[in-house]
Amino acid sequence: MSYIHYGDDKFERTKFARIKEREDGPWIKPTGGLWASYIWNEHALDDADDRDWRIDWKDWCLSNDYKVFRLNKSFIFDLKPDAKIFEVDSMYDIRKLEKLGVYASNNFWYYTKMTKLEELGYDGIRVWMSPDIYDALYGWDCDSILIFNPDCIIPQEA
């Protein structure tokens, strides 16, 4: 599986910022880490159950006129085979995050503590968007992966 990160033309470990929880209130996403999208191929799209929800960061930015200027630079990477990635593709996975103390709600506001997931030994979290997941992770707008640990990244040569 390959991923694409927009905004930089190569992976530079010195630019990698560890994730941390936002201090300005409970949020669904932390700051830091490396955000990327899965690179879909035609075969994967043909087999996807929720094709209508399969949108990557580039498509989302273009359709929402958001940070389009950052799309002119990108790099592709893979993950090491032993990378420990928490997969979210159903509400069952959201409930697992609740049990781990990573996901909670507060007066109709949902939030995560991704640093807790990192403490549990995960290198990142990958979200496969669907209508249920969209509501539960409001603000996590498209299929994406958030890498906590830069050691699990294998940059592809340009």
Give the integer Cα–Cα distance in Å for 71 and 5: 9
The number of distinct structural domains making up the chain is 1
pLDDT in tens, 87-107: 999 999 999 999 999 998 776
pLDDT in tens, 5-15: 999 999 999 99
| pTM summary value | 0.89
Structure tokens at 150: 């830069």
Structure tokens at 113: 């503590």
128 is in which domain, residue-wise? 2-155
DSSP codes of every residue in 103-135:
EEEETTEEEE-HHHHHHTT-SEEEE---HHHHH
What is the rounded average pLDDT of the residues 76-80?
96
Q: Rg (Cα) of the chain, in Å, rounded?
A: 15
pLDDT of residue 53: 59
Cβ-contact 77, 2 below 8 angstroms: yes
pLDDT in tens, 36-75: 999 876 445 455 454 555 678 888 888 888 888 889 999 9
Q: Scanning the structure block, which residue is given the tokens 């990557």?
A: 56
